[in-house]
Structure 1
Amino acid sequence: EQAPHNCQRCLRAREKRRQARRETQNLGGAQATAAQREESPSCPSSLSRGTPPSSPAAGTRQEPQGAPGRSFQRDPLIKKVGMLIQFLLEKYTMEEPVTKADLLKLVNKRYKRKFPEILRRVAECVQLVFGLELKEVKPGGDSYALVSKLHVSDDGRQSSGGRFRKNGLLMLVLGVIFVHGDCASEEEVWEFLNGLGVYVGRCHIIFGEPRKLITEDLVQEKYLVYRQVRDGNLPCCELLWGRRAHAETSKMKVLEFMAKVAGTVPSALPDLYEEALKDEEERAQARCVVRCENSLHLSGVLD
């Protein structure tokens, strides 16, 4: 006998999804129009959902209806954010402070008025992704430095922070996979990461050798699935969420992370937000079924 699962929690989740659909319907149309008017920069948050590879094993992936709306907002500021992050990480490697004048040169005059917003987003991104804090060298001064947020023990040693550092890169990769329809080509993943200064074959100060971390370490830990497929006559590789990623996080959590990196909020990305809400509802229903079945087992009904 199938256990009932229409508990109050599930009903509330379903109603939340309906409400979000109504609230984001008009927002989605407005943003789509605005996106068409803007030039799409080569940057991490402007990833559109391209045509993904297909394979006999996985079947041919097709873009869902309305796929263009699933791309992140085309935001001209994110390119500047990425440039400043790369520059700051280089200075962090050399243990050198950075002046406001240095950063303004990278931003250029066109975005000078937006500098406070750009700097705020840089600070949030380096904290989320790299575990670093952007601080003023002197309060009220015009020089900045990145400071590690790793725990310092009583003997003066820093903890490795390896898990945290992996998490930053993992959340980015999971986000790219989600944006591209739950399966992203390796090329799409690196296109995104390059915008944050993470490159194949180049040792990263925070992540080490990033390709090994993504295609070996996180695969062995079951957070990612990395497999070879064929794109026409050419072999290529793609990435999917692994078993532990499905168990330990959710599309909503990943979307919230990616939205912060892009300087926006999840509900401003209607198609992705709708899918994340659907995932939350399905998870709530699955948990409810398990609870109901356990309750029936305990009462002896299903024994």
Structure 2
Amino acid sequence: NYPKVPRHSVEEGLQAQGEAQGPVGAQGARAREGAAAAPSSSTLSSCPSSSSSFSSYSLILDTTREVFAAGMLSPIKGPQRSFSFSTCMKATASLKSDQGSSRREEASPSTSEDRPVAKTLIREGINDKVADLVRFLLLKYRTKELITKEEMLNDVIKDYRDHFSEIFKEASECMNLVFGIDVKEVDPDGHSYDLVIALGLTYDGMLDDYQSLPKTGLLINVLGVIFLEGNCAAEEVIWEVLGVMGVQAGQEHSIYGEPRKLITHDWVQEGYLVYRQVPFSDPVRYEFLWGPRVCAETSKMKILEFVAKVNDTVPSAFPVWYEEALRDEEARRQAKVEVRPSWGAWPRALCRATTKRPCPK
């Protein structure tokens, strides 16, 4: 059982699972500030000039600025979302360390006459439950188990049953936006849910280490930057964007680990990214493109939908990229791909038709 969902319980559960399974080996693994200037054309980048995309992506990332900075995370701004990344990060911190594991005691929502104080306490209690549920979902994702509403209510939500819909929504958003994992209902009658990698992607970057967490959320962010930069992003742009998220090259991140190897090696080896030298650059510089596996598993429209979701809007709010995504969808329909092949066998013609530049050789 998962009786009180203390911070250390999920960690112990993951550790026990890791000990039981033994080594299984590794799996075969926003934004520029508004005032930031686009790289000069004198840098000889082969990427197209994209100052407009810089400003647009900055607008998108204004909503999540300082998301991961120093563990003190800002809530996403927007009229419809109360989800806070700090709540999500509080959940993941316990998967890395038992330190600071003391938490607010279980309590029913306050009935104090001091309504502002009572409202604050209820909100704090809800935040705790969101963090608890995220930890619970991460454990279930690792063990590949379905989850039921009854299980969540009895083992996690408990005295906050009246707030289940809100807690479940916020925890699901955290799983999607931070970890790149979707919570999908598979049995409406039984209210059971499965946890799957978002946007049709098939790689989460998790290792056999019981502390390892899904890294697909970071990958989707990188793919979004590349798309919005004109299907090709200079390496310095990628790192500047990730720096806003508190993800720095050479620095261990609580969720994503050391990002340089992940981005320049692991995802390249897995076919999700192309990392290549900018022709004739001096000093030598590098840039990123989508890899062939992205063409096989997801689409520009799905990536744009993710970006729009982060910004509490719709894909058509970004007309230039929306039109390009529509052309991509039409090219896919014309290709009449009945069954999605493995990424290595994905037709190069389709990939060429859905980007402004040739597929990498």
Please state which band the TM-score falls in when normalised by the shorter chain. Answer: 0.5 to 0.7
Provide structure 2 residue ranges, at least 5 long, that are not aligned to the other structure: 1-29, 95-103, 110-121, 146-194, 196-203, 207-212, 340-361
* 8 Å CA contact 1:45, 1:73 repeated in 2: no
Counterparts of 1:22-37 in structure 2, within 5 Å, are: none
Question: Structure 1 residues 115 and 72, CA, compared in 2 at 3 Å: closer, same or farther?
Answer: closer
Question: Structure 1 residues 193 and 117, CA, compared in 2 at 3 Å: closer, same or farther?
Answer: farther
Provide structure 1 residue ranges, at least 5 long, that are not aligned to the other structure: 1-41, 92-102, 108-113, 291-303
What letter matches 2:66 in structure 1?
A: M
- Please state whether the residue corresponding to 1:83 is helix, strand or coil: coil
Q: Which residue of 1 aligns with 2:49?
A: 63
What letter matches 1:142 in structure 2?
A: E
- Please state whether the residue corresponding to 2:254 is helix, strand or coil: coil
Q: Which residue of 1 aligns with 2:69?
A: 86
Check if 1:141 corresponds to 2:123. Answer: yes
* 8 Å CA contact 1:223, 1:241 repeated in 2: yes
Question: Structure 1 residues 44 and 227, CA, compared in 2 at 3 Å: closer, same or farther?
Answer: same
- Please state whether the residue corresponding to 1:239 is helix, strand or coil: strand
* 8 Å CA contact 1:223, 1:242 repeated in 2: yes
2:233 to 176, 184, 193: 184
CA distance in 1, matches of 2:236, 2:306: 21
- Please state whether the residue corresponding to 1:141 is helix, strand or coil: helix
What letter matches 1:141 in structure 2?
A: R
CA distance in 1, matches of 2:88, 2:139: 17
- Please state whether the residue corresponding to 2:284 is helix, strand or coil: strand
1:208 to 257, 270, 291: 257
- Residue deviations 1:104-124, cap 9 Å, x none? xx79xxxxxx97749636459
**Structure showing greater relative contact order (alpha-carbon pairs closer than 8 Å, 6 or more residues apart):** 1
The sequence identity of aligned pairs, in percent, is: 40
Q: Which residue of 1 aligns with 2:292?
A: 243
- Residue deviations 1:232-279, cap 9 Å, x none? 522101111111111111111111112222333211111011111111
- Please state whether the residue corresponding to 1:165 is helix, strand or coil: coil
- Residue deviations 1:65-104, cap 9 Å, x none? xx6267426549x5473335435xx27xxxxxxxxxxx7x
CA displacement at 1:165 relative to structure 2: 1.9
Question: Structure 1 residues 271 and 51, CA, compared in 2 at 3 Å: closer, same or farther?
Answer: farther
Paired residues in the alignment total: 212
- Please state whether the residue corresponding to 2:276 is helix, strand or coil: strand
Question: Structure 1 residues 125 and 45, CA, compared in 2 at 3 Å: closer, same or farther?
Answer: farther
What letter matches 1:217 in structure 2?
A: D
* 8 Å CA contact 2:53, 2:230 repeated in 1: no
What letter matches 1:252 in structure 2?
A: M
CA displacement at 1:203 relative to structure 2: 0.6
CA distance in 2, matches of 1:116, 1:61: 33
* 8 Å CA contact 2:38, 2:54 repeated in 1: yes
What letter matches 2:123 in structure 1?
A: G
CA distance in 2, matches of 1:241, 1:154: 29
* 8 Å CA contact 2:47, 2:234 repeated in 1: no
- Residue deviations 1:98-155, cap 9 Å, x none? xxxxx7xx79xxxxxx97749636459969xx9x9xxx98662336354333133599
What letter matches 2:65 in structure 1?
A: G
* 8 Å CA contact 1:45, 1:262 repeated in 2: no
TM-score (norm 2): 0.48
Question: Structure 1 residues 69 and 61, CA, compared in 2 at 3 Å: closer, same or farther?
Answer: closer
Choose between structure 1 and 2: higher helix proportion.
1
